[in-house]
Structure 1
Amino acid sequence: MPKTGRRPEPSIPDGVTGKELDRSVHQQLRTLSKENADGVAKHLVMVAALLEADELENAMAHAETAVRRAGRVPAAREALGMVAYRSGDFARALGEFRTVRRISGSDHLLPLMVDCERGLGRHERALDLAQSPEAKRLPKEERVELTIVISGIRRDLGQTDAALVALQIPELKKHNQPRLAYAYADTLLGLGRTDEAREWFQRAADADVEYETDAVERLEELDGVSPTDLLGGADEDEDEVDE
């Protein structure tokens, strides 16, 4: 059987240098030749940019190229896993995250691994992983994300009260946790506690300086305000002026 030719690599804009990456990623790339490291770095920059722009197909092309060129570099495998995760391909994402964990020795992707198990419908396996000794040793930021995932699993299982209790961790009292506050608000809403939910959506919106959630839109929904209503009102005003 004839060998297939090397797959063409996706193009990289002239302004991308690869130096945009964190120092920790550049440290990983030191195991490669300089030319290869520079190329992989540019592809990883493109993955991040395209993920932010929600251009998943193009992001996948750059991530797969990075892995073909640097399959033993954790950052490359993590990039591919993130694109797969965002695309809803939880089986592939989980495989990549497991590879990252194996070759790097880091547990920082555990919350995403648990969410992948959840996405695959393996709720009990997800909870077992979430309760592992490694999960209990996670830093605060990853621990908060894991808490949100655990709460989501409980809701999937119809255990909404337990989902609310799972979110009641010390970080919930802080005003710099928009995703945690949002999850708490959404769970309260699922329990029919609308007034409390509105209060927590407001807290999430106030803390969400990086626009990680749609808390503002959820508040508008609760208040009966919609963008179409606003646009419709503007059109009516214009019609009155024309008349």
Structure 2
Amino acid sequence: MAGRLIDTDPELAFQHALAASRRGGRMAAVREAVALTAYAAGEFGDALREFRTHRRISGSNEYLAMMADCERGLGRPDRALDLARSEEAAEMDPAGKVDMAIAASGARMDMEQYDAAVHALEIPQLDKNRAFSYSPRLFRAYADALELAGRGGEAEPWRRQALLAESVLGMGEFAEPEIMDLGDDDEAPAKPRFRRDSEGNSAEGDTGASAEDRSGNYAQAPEAAVPESEEDESDDALPGDEREALLGAEEAEESEDTADTEHDVRTEDTAGRHD
């Protein structure tokens, strides 16, 4: 909960982190959450105490620059400079060194040492021809220090360079918008356009005898098999021998009828000639 609220309501996030620390105060992650939310809420005394506790538990110096900034927030810029000159600060990664240089420059500004503030930012990472994730904030801090030192003409190119670095890195106003999917996580499987069961019946919702499937093949309903026991179960069905005898008798009767007809025709024809 503290992580969700730190950007929108840091004070409430700090209260949530404090509640978590009452249950798991010996965990480094909990003390880290308390320190970060206190820093965001401007509670620099609490933040500095929690950063120190987190550093003691975890052995990490990643928040050393924030500790220096907390010293500035408490009105102690000299202590911030002490942290910037420490051996631990010299062993930080490039991003950490940039954050520490910005904190040291701010401490010099608090002491109205503006030329020294500019000098504090002239570190190897201040390279206008290369862009890293820390470059935009370093370029802007350097531009602010130059302006306070009365070198406003030199400040504007660094502000433009900060904007260019953001465009190259896709940060700030050039960052891609975060797209959230508001639909259900589990989508219903697509219903097949045509399906038949093992008995040759259409699936529910299909009314045609055949249909085209998604692969472009055509599916046809299998012909229903007629059980052998039902082949000759009609009322007129006869055993094989009786059927053949009956057919033979019918053919004989048709032959006799044909012969009688021909005989009658010949008789009538003969009688006509005698007349």
In terms of fraction of residues, the more helix-rich structure is 1
Distance across 2 between alignment mates of 1:50 and 1:83: 9
The answer as to 2:117 corresponding to 1:163 is yes
Match of 1:48 in 2: 3
In structure 2, the CA distance between the partners of 1:120 and 1:203, relative to structure 1 (3 Å rule), is: same
Pairing 1:4-153 to 2, within 5 Å after superposition: 46-53=1-8, 55-153=9-107
- Which structure has the larger Rg over C-alpha atoms? 2
Residue type of the alignment partner of 1:197: A
Q: Once superposed, which parts of structure 1, at least 4 consecutive aligned residues long, lie more than 3 Å away?
A: none
Find the counterpart in structure 2 of residue 210 from structure 1.
171
1:207 positional shift: 2.0
Tell me which residue corresponds to 1:198. 156
Query: 1:86-109 deviations in whole A, cap 9, x for unaligned?
Result: 121111100000000011111111
**Other-structure match for 1:21:** none
What is the percent sequence identity of the aligned residues?
Answer: 49
Contact 1:175 1:203 in 2 (8 A): no
Distance 1:188 1:175 in 2: 20
Q: Deviations over 1:158-193 (max 9, x none)?
A: 111111111111111032211100100111111232
Partners of 2:28 and 2:54 within 8 A in 1: yes
Looking at structure 1, the residues matched to 88 and 150 of structure 2 have their Cα atoms a distance apart, in angstroms, of 35
Report 1 or 2 for greater relative contact order, CA contacts < 8 Å, sequence distance ≥ 6. Answer: 1
My pick for the range that moved more, 196-205 or 142-151, is 196-205
Query: Is it true that 1:179 corresponds to 2:137 in the alignment?
Result: yes
Q: Which runs of 5+ in 1 are unaligned?
A: 1-45, 213-243
Count residues with an aligned counterpart: 166
Q: Which runs of 5+ in 2 are unaligned?
A: 174-275
What letter corresponds to residue 97 of structure 2 in structure 1? R
Check whether the contact 1:117–1:126 (CA below 8 A) recurs between aligned residues: yes
